Amino acid sequence: MPSSAALLITGVTTGLFAGGASCAAVQGGLLAGAVTRRRTATATAAPDTPAPLAPVGAFLGGKLLSHTLFGALLGVFGNTLQPSPRAQAVLLLAAGGLMVLFALDLFGVKAVGRILPRPPAAFGRLMRRSAKTDSAVTPALVGFATVLVPCGVTLSMELLAVTSGSPEAGAAVMAGFVLGTAPLFALLGYLLRRSSQALSGRLAGLTGVVVLAVAAWTMASALQAGGWVSFDTPNRPAAAGGGPFIVEGGDGSGSGGGAAGGAAEAVTPVRTDASGRQVVTLTVTDFYSPTRFAAQAGVPTTLVLHGRDSGGCARAFTIPELGVQEIVKRDGDTEIDLGARKPGTLRFSCAMGMQTGEIEFTKDPR
């Protein structure tokens, strides 16, 4: 499964670059109502006193708490179901599809707006009335309740929390998302509520472009996580038989694989042991090295995941075609029996589809 740290980073970056304006368009009015009401009360009591920032912090604190708890519950749900790598990939594709629909909604495509999920109108009116009360705890309660008024990107993050497969990872992705939206949420919410229609339209359009970009990245990762395609340019294959090979390190982007720092490493990626069994060794650090192997078809084969200070998404190793999901040891070997493979390509990836590789089984791997 994806690591909690990787999902936290994914949530933060998605919230920062796509979620802020999208969620502010849906929930910003609630925050603006609570803050404006309390600012008016403060100004009446003491005209020279600046508006307090406490309501904003309370709102975001309540929102962070509810989304983190909900993310943990979604992670528990995913862990109970234990979806296969390809089932997780389908959920990621659905998340990307939702993002596309909400982006089109931001562009003003009316036909899309009719089919998108919306909170009940009565619930929205109740929330707006609650936001206008003078209670000091109201902003926190309203923020906590925003989990019931999700924006489009939030729904996508909730699907990602399900695919995480653990309460810690599910909580991490949702907490990261809220933290990512926090710096811009109050400002964008106020602008979208108070600005002219023209400015509001430009902000919505810009947000739609960002959401489309995130959707494209999510769907591409899903296709790779499902083992259906690979968009990476693989290294030259490490051939079966023979002595040690020199495997060049990647560029650190995850597309080429390789040891951290790009240093060359002498390894024997494909060899035959004394019993005649073929052994394919994949070194796992923060990346995979090498990312492409040439192996003998029709020979009993063992894949060895050699963890060497492994971390990040690379530890969540999957072979979608076989339904294999393994958490690589930080330092140590994990063995996977591949059996005697027929000629063809066997793809592997991290659980999030960001790092991929393949083993090409042929009758003559040289």
Final residue in a domain of this structure, among 164, 192, 225: 225
Domain membership flag for residue 94: yes
291: CATH: 2.60.40.420
Domain membership flag for residue 87: yes
Query: Do residues 190 and 265 share a domain?
Result: no
Domain membership flag for residue 19: yes
Final residue in a domain of this structure, among 225, 254, 269: 225
Q: Are 99 and 17 in contact (CB under 8 A)?
A: no
Domain membership flag for residue 232: no
Listed residue (354, 330, 359, 317) closest to 85, CA to CA: 317
Residue 281 CB contacts under 8 Å (≥ 6 apart), including other chains: 267, 268, 269, 270, 271, 303, 304, 306
332 class by beta-carbon count within 10 Å (0-12 exposed, 13-18 middle, 19+ buried):
exposed
Domain membership flag for residue 329: yes
At 250, phi and psi to the nearest 5? Answer: -85, -175
Query: Do residues 82 and 112 share a domain?
Result: yes
Please report, in tens digits, the pLDDT of each residue of the chain (366 residues total). Answer: 556 777 788 788 877 776 666 676 566 556 655 554 444 444 444 444 444 456 777 888 989 999 999 999 998 988 787 778 888 888 878 877 877 887 787 788 888 867 765 555 555 555 555 555 555 577 788 788 888 767 667 776 887 788 777 899 899 999 999 998 888 665 654 554 455 444 455 656 776 787 787 778 878 888 998 999 888 755 567 665 544 333 333 333 333 344 333 443 445 799 999 999 999 999 999 899 999 999 999 999 999 999 999 876 788 899 999 999 888 888 999 999 999 999 999 999 987 788 899 999 998 655
Domain membership flag for residue 233: no
Listed residue (7, 341, 3) closest to 180, CA to CA: 7
Report yes or no on whether pTM surpasses 0.95.
no
Query: Do residues 30 and 104 share a domain?
Result: yes
Listed residue (309, 304, 342, 346) closest to 326, CA to CA: 304
What is the dihedral angle through the alpha carbons of 201, 203, 204, 206, rounded to the nearest 10 degrees? Answer: 120
Query: Do residues 207 and 282 share a domain?
Result: no
Query: Do residues 141 and 221 share a domain?
Result: yes
Query: Do residues 220 and 251 share a domain?
Result: no
Query: Do residues 261 and 212 share a domain?
Result: no
pLDDT at 259: 38
Query: Do residues 52 and 109 share a domain?
Result: yes
pLDDT at 332: 93
Q: What would the DSSP string read from start to end of 154-211?
A: HHHHHHHHHHH-SHHHHHHHHHHHHHHHHHHHHHHHHHHHHS-HHHHHHHHHHHHHHH
pLDDT at 114: 72
Total domains in the chain come to 2
Question: What's the longest Cα–Cα distance across the chain?
Answer: 87
Query: Do residues 95 and 20 share a domain?
Result: yes
Domain that holds residue 270: 245-362
Q: Are 178 and 14 in contact (CB under 8 A)?
A: no
Final residue in a domain of this structure, among 225, 260, 277: 225
pLDDT at 356: 92
Query: Do residues 316 and 197 share a domain?
Result: no
Residue 202 CB contacts under 8 Å (≥ 6 apart), including other chains: none
pLDDT at 39: 45
pLDDT at 347: 96
pLDDT at 17: 72
Query: Do residues 90 and 147 share a domain?
Result: yes
Domain membership flag for residue 289: yes
pLDDT at 303: 97
Residue 205 CB contacts under 8 Å (≥ 6 apart), including other chains: 106, 107
Assign 214 to helix, strand or coil. Answer: helix
pLDDT at 187: 66
Query: Do residues 215 and 276 share a domain?
Result: no
pLDDT at 250: 36
Distance CA 35, CA 29 (A): 10
pLDDT at 261: 39
Domain membership flag for residue 234: no
